[in-house]
């Protein structure tokens, strides 16, 4: 079995095929984008796709927006290398959707218009709340974006088989990485500026189908190999991992027990709890997810879209279970770590192994590898487009139109600013990603979830359900949660003071947990309460309007 | 936004209208039906999930117990989290269609066009 992707000259077939499929995907999505741009005339078209999507379409788009490279490649890789703990991660990602379904989606759809801040600022003074919401939206989105783009650079280079010392189209590995980051950035800016929400949504829908299709095919092949006996697959994976039964139990990656070091064990287990809480509470505070609820006409359709999203996301994570354990059994951790230390190439490597087995030799392997690599590429593009749209919407609608222009900007001006914002945010993230490309920034996704759970979620829930909540409370909640999460992570082992840190050679670490959620989320809720009670502001009339509108859909946009 | 017309007289009456609706028995029933389902359910699934994470961290022996072949408690517990998520989503959609949507539709129809243009700023 070939253990190294596209290492041989004969594998240039895979590389050419991958590249061809990449280009086909790019061509198709650009065509969709141009088509969508013809139908994008008003601000509602640009920000919310004209609210014309069905619950099913939006559910697929949510899946496409949410299942990032971190979930597809990351979780499959995590399971392949650490077994059960990768599965544990995906459970948090799924259960989180119940918060969105039960507490947020419908009420937000009924009372908001384009951004998260529409709901937060509904009964508050516009400027302070919208400034805070825009700051938080842009911070969360840029963190998430950066992690995806740095990952994309490394990944595409790997998937195309460009290694240090080799060249591709005259580019060496480093140049290829930078070229990839720039190209991904350019594409996401094009999707957003040209196609707006409509174009972005269709890109996400196409990607969701590709991703599910790829995952289903691979899962069937893995299971066929084990005659649909899950127990045999698990046994084989455990044996191949060299860790035995422990591979099928929690504890190899999160909550690691260090014999003889009780304190380290204690912190490691707390870290697991912290991660769990942040994953579950973060999703319903992610701005790029929240704005998706505005693309459907009614609250009922918003509910339907979350139901479809839960269906597709849940099924997908069940499939990653087979993919991850399949990669552990059929590819082996040694071959995976030889390719990528973090295990991100486990799924493509599994595709190659399965293709060789089922489709006949080298060519079959190369074909399936190319298909899955192209799917991974589509995944990254769809997610970064969603993030760019969320941050540029907030910059234009919240900050420019309501803070700078105080609500006097015309619709046309606002959309023009949104397009320019997408360009600026795209440029900034390209530059940041190029500088960060050799740093370990995978933690930024978890940090984005922690900020969303600590700042945005308390503000949203208080806004919707607490009569007394006011401007001061909203501003305290958002800044409190945001700063607490960023501050704690800055002094945590993921930034400095450990070999896997962003700056492994520096050490200013004193906070023991990698994930701040366990402290920063209660702190965010506390700040929201404290900020509220120290202010006398209270507007029962506006709360009546918000509550009635959010529950009934009266006067909804 | 330019499409909103914060005309003072109709807005005034609209705001009062919303207050009246908020105080109506029918709306109180709707609020009660919604909160009566989503709050307890949120607490329930959160505790159920917390139990799973806590057992994963502190009860490794129990989680590692094999049930059939190589299938252990940890895997079954994890799959149960999927099952409970799907189940709660289905229960909620059924409950909302029966107990929430009809009431919400009725109240929305009663509020009617009077308040339609009084949107949030921006």
- Express the helix, strand and coil content of chain A in percent, nearest 5 each: 75, 0, 20
Distance from CA of B40 to the nearest CA of A (A): 10
Give the Cα separation of A449 and A445 in Å (integer).
Answer: 6
Q: What angle do CA A178, A182, A185 make, to 5 degrees?
A: 140
Phi-psi region of A58 (alpha: psi -120 to 50; beta: other; left: phi over 0): alpha
Number of domains within chain A? 1
Give the range of the structural domain holding residue A242, as residue numbers without chain letter: 9-552
Q: Which helix (DSSP H) or strand (DSSP E) does residue B71 occupy?
A: strand B71-72
Token representation of residue A494:
């993921």
Q: Which residues of A touch B70 (CB under 8 A)?
A: 231-232, 234-235, 238, 248
Contact A518, A277 (CB under 8 A): yes
Phi-psi region of A76 (alpha: psi -120 to 50; beta: other; left: phi over 0): alpha
Residue A31 lies in a domain: yes
Distance from CA of B9 to the nearest CA of A (A): 15
User: Does B115 have pLDDT greater than 70?
Assistant: no
Give the Cα separation of A64 and A309 in Å (integer).
Answer: 9
Chain B contact for A280, CB < 8 A? yes
Q: How far is CA A250 from CA A247, A254, A513, B59, in A?
A: 8, 7, 18, 10
DSSP string, B21-45: HHHSHHHHHHHHHHHHHHHHHHHHH
Q: What angle do CA B37, A527, A129 make, to 5 degrees?
A: 85
pLDDT value at residue A253: 87
Give the Cα separation of A297 and A292 in Å (integer).
Answer: 11
Q: Which residues of B touch A552 (CB under 8 A)?
A: 27, 30, 104-105, 107-108, 111
Nearest CA to A253 out of A143, A103, A89 is that of A89
Give the Cα separation of A224 and A357 in Å (integer).
Answer: 11
Chain B contact for A102, CB < 8 A? yes
Nearest CA to A91 out of B13, B30, B48 is that of B48
Asked if the Cβ–Cβ distance from B18 to A118 is below 8 Å, we say no
Candidates B1, B81, B116; nearest CB to A555: B116
Asked if the Cβ–Cβ distance from B75 to A300 is below 8 Å, we say no
Chain A contact for B5, CB < 8 A? no
Three-state helix/strand/coil letters over A89-113:
HHHHHHHHHHHHHHHHHHHHHHHCC
Asked if the Cβ–Cβ distance from A231 to B45 is below 8 Å, we say no
Residue A433 lies in a domain: yes
pLDDT value at residue A9: 42
Residues with Cβ within 8 Å of residue A303, at least 6 apart in sequence: A55, A101, A105, A106, B93, B96
pLDDT along chain A (557 residues), means of 10: 43 77 91 93 93 96 89 87 91 96 96 95 94 96 89 75 68 81 93 94 94 94 94 93 91 87 91 93 95 96 97 95 94 87 86 89 85 87 94 95 91 94 95 86 86 96 96 97 96 89 90 94 97 94 94 91
pLDDT value at residue B11: 53
Token representation of residue B106:
């009725």
Q: Which residue of chain B is at minimal alpha-carbon distance from A233?
A: B70
Candidates A91, A249, A397; nearest CB to B64: A249
Task: Assign residue A200 the CATH number of its domain.
Answer: 1.20.1730.10
Number of H helices, E strands in chain A: 23, 2
Contact A92, A281 (CB under 8 A): no
Residues 16-45 of chain B with CB under 8 A from chain A are 16, 18-19, 21-22, 27, 30-31, 34-35, 37-38, 41-42, 45
Q: Confidence band (pLDDT; 50, 70, 90) for B4? A: very low
Q: Which residues of A touch B116 (CB under 8 A)?
A: 555
pLDDT value at residue A10: 46
Tell me the pLDDT of chain A averaged across its residues. 90
Asked if the Cβ–Cβ distance from A98 to B42 is below 8 Å, we say yes
Candidates A257, A410, A555; nearest CB to B2: A410
Q: Which residues of B touch A97 (CB under 8 A)?
A: 85, 89
Q: Which residues of A touch B41 (CB under 8 A)?
A: 98, 102
Q: Which residues of B touch A310 (CB under 8 A)?
A: 85-86, 89
Residue A1 lies in a domain: no
Residue A557 lies in a domain: no
Q: For the whole prediction, is pTM greater than 0.90?
A: yes
User: Does B10 have pLDDT greater than 90?
Assistant: no
Three-state helix/strand/coil letters over A405-441:
CCCCCCHHHHHHHHHHHHHHHHHHHHHHHHHHCCCCC
- Residue to mutate among A41, A239, A545, with most B CBs inside 10 A, is A545
Distance from CA of A249 to the nearest CA of B (A): 6
Residues 214-253 of chain A with CB under 8 A from chain B are 230-232, 234-235, 238, 245-246, 248-251
Residue A48 lies in a domain: yes
Asked if the Cβ–Cβ distance from B122 to A91 is below 8 Å, we say no
Candidates A99, A541, A552; nearest CB to B104: A552
How many residues does this entry show for chain B? 122
Residue A2 lies in a domain: no
pLDDT value at residue B113: 55
Task: Please state the φ and ψ torsions of residue A172, each to the nearest 5 degrees.
Answer: -85, 180
Asked if the Cβ–Cβ distance from A398 to B122 is below 8 Å, we say yes
Token representation of residue A353:
């192994």
How many residues does this entry show for chain A? 557
Distance from CA of A293 to the nearest CA of B (A): 16
Distance from CA of A17 to the nearest CA of B (A): 36
Candidates B81, B92, B101; nearest CB to A101: B92
Q: Which residues of A touch B14 (CB under 8 A)?
A: 545
Chain A contact for B86, CB < 8 A? yes
Give the Cα separation of A299 and A307 in Å (integer).
Answer: 12
Token representation of residue A405:
């222009």
Compute the average pLDDT of residues B33-40.
96
Chain A contact for B1, CB < 8 A? yes
Task: Please state the φ and ψ torsions of residue A503, each to the nearest 5 degrees.
Answer: -120, 85
pLDDT in tens, A328-367: 999 998 998 888 778 888 898 999 899 999 888 888 888 8
Q: Which residues of B touch A465 (CB under 8 A)?
A: 35
Residue A3 lies in a domain: no
Chain B contact for A366, CB < 8 A? no
Nearest CA to A275 out of A516, A519, A29 is that of A516
* A-to-B residue pairs, Cβ atoms closer than 8 angstroms: 191
Asked if the Cβ–Cβ distance from A551 to B75 is below 8 Å, we say no
Give the Cα separation of B58 and B51 in Å (integer).
Answer: 10
Contact A83, A247 (CB under 8 A): yes
User: Does B121 have pLDDT greater than 60?
Assistant: no
Residue A450 lies in a domain: yes
Q: Which residue of chain B is at minimal alpha-carbon distance from A123?
A: B120
Question: How many CB atoms are located within 10 Å of the residue A361 CB?
Answer: 10
Tell me the pLDDT of chain B averaged across its residues. 86
pLDDT in tens, B54-109: 999 999 999 999 999 999 999 999 999 999 999 999 999 999 999 999 999 999 99
Strand-strand pairing, A167-168 and B66-68? unpaired
CA A397 to mean position of chain CA atoms: 23
pLDDT value at residue A2: 41
Q: Which helix (DSSP H) or strand (DSSP E) does residue A326 occupy?
A: helix A299-330
Burial of B32 (0-12, 13-18, 19+ CB in 10 A): exposed
pLDDT value at residue B15: 80
pLDDT value at residue B41: 97
Give the Cα separation of A350 and A458 in Å (integer).
Answer: 41
Q: Which residue of chain A is at minimal alpha-carbon distance from B107?
A: A552
Three-state helix/strand/coil letters over A475-518:
HHHHHHHHHHHHHHHHCCCCCECCCCCCECCCCCCCCCCCCCHH
């Amino acid at each position: 079995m070939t253990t190294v992707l596209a290492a041989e000259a004969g594998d240039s077939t895979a590389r050419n095929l991958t590249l061809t499929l990449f280009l086909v995907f790019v061509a198709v999505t650009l065509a969709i984008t141009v088509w969508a741009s013809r139908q994008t005339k008003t601000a509602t078209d640009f920000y919310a796709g004209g609210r014309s999507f069905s619950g099913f379409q939006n559910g697929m788009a949510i899946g496409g927006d949410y299942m990032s490279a971190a979930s597809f490649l990351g979780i499959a890789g995590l399971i392949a290398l650490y077994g059960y703990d990768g599965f544990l991660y995906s459970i948090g990602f799924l259960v989180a959707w119940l918060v969105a379904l039960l507490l947020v989606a419908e009420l937000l759809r009924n009372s908001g218009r384009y951004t998260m801040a529409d709901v937060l600022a509904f009964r508050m003074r516009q400027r302070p709340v919208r400034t805070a919401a825009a700051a938080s939206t842009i911070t969360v989105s840029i963190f998430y974006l950066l992690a995806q783009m740095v990952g994309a650079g490394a990944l595409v280079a790997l998937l195309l088989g460009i290694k240090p010392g080799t060249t591709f189209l005259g580019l060496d590995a480093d140049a290829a990485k930078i070229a990839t980051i720039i190209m991904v950035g350019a594409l996401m800016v094009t999707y957003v500026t040209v196609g707006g929400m409509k174009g972005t949504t269709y890109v996400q829908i196409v990607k969701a189908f590709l991703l599910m299709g790829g995952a289903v095919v691979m899962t069937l092949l893995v299971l066929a190999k084990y005659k649909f006996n899950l127990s045999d697959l698990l046994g084989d994976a455990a044996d191949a991992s060299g860790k035995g039964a422990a591979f099928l139990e929690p504890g190899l990656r999160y909550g690691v027990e260090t014999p003889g070091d009780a304190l380290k064990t204690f912190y490691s287990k707390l870290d697991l709890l912290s991660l769990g809480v942040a994953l579950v509470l973060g999703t319903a505070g992610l701005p790029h997810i929240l704005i998706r609820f505005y693309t459907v006409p009614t609250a009922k359709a918003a509910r339907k879209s979350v139901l479809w999203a839960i269906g597709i996301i849940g099924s997908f994570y069940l499939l990653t279970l087979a993919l991850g354990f399949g990669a552990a059994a059929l590819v082996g951790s040694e071959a995976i770590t030889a390719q990528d230390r973090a295990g991100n190439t486990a799924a493509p490597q599994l595709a190659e192994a399965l293709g060789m087995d089922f489709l006949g030799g080298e060519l079959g392997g190369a074909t399936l590898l190319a298909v899955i690599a192209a799917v991974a590429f589509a995944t990254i593009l769809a997610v970064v487009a969603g993030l760019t749209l969320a941050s540029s919407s907030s910059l234009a609608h919240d900050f420019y139109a309501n803070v700078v222009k105080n609500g006097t900007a015309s619709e046309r001006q606002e959309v023009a600013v949104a397009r320019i914002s997408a360009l600026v945010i795209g440029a900034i993230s390209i530059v940041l990603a190029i500088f960060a490309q050799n740093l370990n920034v995978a933690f930024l996704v978890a940090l984005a979830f922690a900020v969303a759970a600590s700042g945005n979620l308390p503000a949203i829930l208080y806004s919707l359900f607490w009569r007394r909540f006011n401007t001061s409370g909203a501003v305290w909640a958002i800044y409190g949660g945001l700063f607490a999460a960023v501050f704690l992570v800055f002094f945590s082992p993921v930034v400095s003071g450990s070999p896997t840190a962003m700056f492994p050679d520096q050490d200013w670490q004193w906070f023991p947990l990698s994930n701040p959620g366990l402290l920063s989320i209660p702190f965010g809720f506390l700040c929201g309460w404290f900020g509220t009670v120290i202010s006398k502001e209270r507007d029962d009339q506006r709360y009546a309007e918000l509550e009635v509108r959010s529950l009934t859909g009266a006067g909804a946009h | 936004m330019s499409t909103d017309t914060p005309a003072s007289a109709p807005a005034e009456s609209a705001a009062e209208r919303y207050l009246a609706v908020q105080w109506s028995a029918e709306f109180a029933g709707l609020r009660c039906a919604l909160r009566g389902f989503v709050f307890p359910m949120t607490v329930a699934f959160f505790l159920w999930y917390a139990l799973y994470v806590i057992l994963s961290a502190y009860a490794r022996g129990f989680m590692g117990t094999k049930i059939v072949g190589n299938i252990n408690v940890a895997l079954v517990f994890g799959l149960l989290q999927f099952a409970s998520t799907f189940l709660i989503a289905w229960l909620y959609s059924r409950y909302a269609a029966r107990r929430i949507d009809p009431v919400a539709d009725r109240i929305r129809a009663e509020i009617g066009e009077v308040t339609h243009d009084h949107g949030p700023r921006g």
